[in-house]
Amino acid sequence: MSRKIVLFERQDSVAVITLNNPSSGNAITSRLVSTLEDIRTALSDDSDIRVVVLTGRDTFCRGTDVKTLRTFNDKEALIGGLSASTLIAGIDRPTIAAIDGDALGQGLELALCCDLRICSDRARFAMDQICRGDIPWDGGTQRLARTLGRGKALEMIFTGAVLDAGEALQTGLVSRVVPPEELMPQALAMARDLAGKSPLAMRYAREAIYKGVELTLEQGLRLEADLYFLLHTTEDRTEGVTAFREKRSPRFTGR
């Protein structure tokens, strides 16, 4: 029996997705993308899972599998059939990338589609497609610029330079750097903390931020206000206020 190239584990209300083909550097293949699609479908049917952690065994992801690239003669089919980032970005709840080792090329694009990123102190990051006469195609040009700003994104993409963990923290690519042995414990602790919060409040805040960057300030403020008023019609909002008054931890249900 062939080994599973992606592992899926549920720990209470937290799901952990682990890329599990370290001999290839967890390179992105059609099989991996198909497995991620199945996992995303399973997640959409399980409202009890509130936060998702994405990581890789031994290393995060060193990019696209070269042999798989050669099987696509039609570039449109390539983008449609090998876009792992589209699948992870489509998960409708908070996602955390726990990055150890390399996140290179499409591997960095995959990390960028997560809401939060933490890494080990031996992590390395690069958008190195231009070194092969290519450009990022799985969301890298758009998400990197939105995360780091236009200037730093252009520098990373033009040069293909590798950033170490310290530089990634300094630029805002990651929010936390930890020793390798603390990476998953801290990622899971963060995930459990988020899982204890109102899923509706996080969903609306996430929507306001992601959609707001595409709008004018006035439009973004209106979206924020609309979502704020909508949240006040939910049971979770009532529970939050009640729990505060009763000096206890809230019990959010996502309704």
Q: Does 1.10.3720.10 match the CATH number of domain 6-195?
A: no
How far apart (Å, rounded) are the C-alpha atoms in residues 234 and 245?
17
User: What pLDDT, on the 0 to 100 scale, is given for residue 243?
Assistant: 67
User: What pLDDT, on the 0 to 100 scale, is given for residue 1?
Assistant: 37
Domain ranges for the chain: 6-195, 199-245
Q: Which CATH number fits domain 199-245: 1.10.287, 3.30.1460, 1.10.12, 3.40.50?
A: 1.10.12
Coil, strand, or helix at residue 253? coil
| CA separation, residue 23 to residues 12, 43, 61, 108, 204 (Å) | 30, 27, 11, 18, 40
Give just the sign of the alpha carbon dihedral 83, 85, 88, 93: negative
How far apart (Å, rounded) are the C-alpha atoms in residues 172 and 118?
10
Q: Split the chain (255 residues) into runs of 10 and give each run's mean pLDDT.
A: 83 96 94 94 91 97 86 71 91 96 97 98 96 92 95 96 97 97 98 94 93 94 93 79 71 73
Q: What is the pTM of this model?
A: 0.92
Query: Which residue in this structure is represented by tokens 């190195």?
Result: 128
User: What pLDDT, on the 0 to 100 scale, is given for residue 70?
Assistant: 74
* Pairing assessment for the beta strands 163-164 and 124-126 based on DSSP bridges: antiparallel
User: What pLDDT, on the 0 to 100 scale, is given for residue 248?
Assistant: 66
User: What pLDDT, on the 0 to 100 scale, is given for residue 244?
Assistant: 66
CA geometry: angle 226, 231, 232, nearest 5 deg: 100
Quote the strand ranges of the chain, DSSP E.
6-11, 14-19, 51-56, 95-99, 102-104, 116-120, 124-126, 163-164, 176-178
Q: Please determine whether the domains at 6-195 and 199-245 fall in the same fold group of CATH.
A: no
How far apart (Å, rounded) are the C-alpha atoms in residues 100 and 18?
12
